[in-house]
Amino acid sequence: MNATRVRVEETDLKDIQPGSELHKRAVIAFEQDKKGAPYVDYALARLHKDGELEFDDDAAVSLIDEDDEDSDGAYVSAWVWIPAADLRIEGYLEPREDS
């Protein structure tokens, strides 16, 4: 299944037919964004390292709500920098012609 992710603002809900499947999905998505926002804020404040591990302000969040309170949390999408030189050393990339 191919999925396309579209960024929609909450104000766009007025243009979606209330009660439609799209409207229901949008309302759920906005609620999940609100619940995920603290996780993005935490990631930006505490985990973000320029050039190593970076998070977008609107990073995708996958909330995990378990029965056990200690197992609650979320996965937050991030950008990880991988230098091409490391891949060459490990044999994942061919050496550069100009080297």
Rounded-to-10 torsion of CA 37, 42, 43, 45:
120
The pLDDT, as a whole number, for residue 99 is 60
| pTM, 2 dp | 0.63
- Number of CB atoms found within 10 A of residue 76's CB: 19
Rounded-to-10 torsion of CA 17, 20, 25, 30:
30
pLDDT digits over 37-83, tens only? 999 999 999 999 999 999 999 898 888 877 777 778 999 999 999 99
The pLDDT, as a whole number, for residue 38 is 93
* Look-up of token digits 């964004």: 33
The pLDDT, as a whole number, for residue 81 is 93
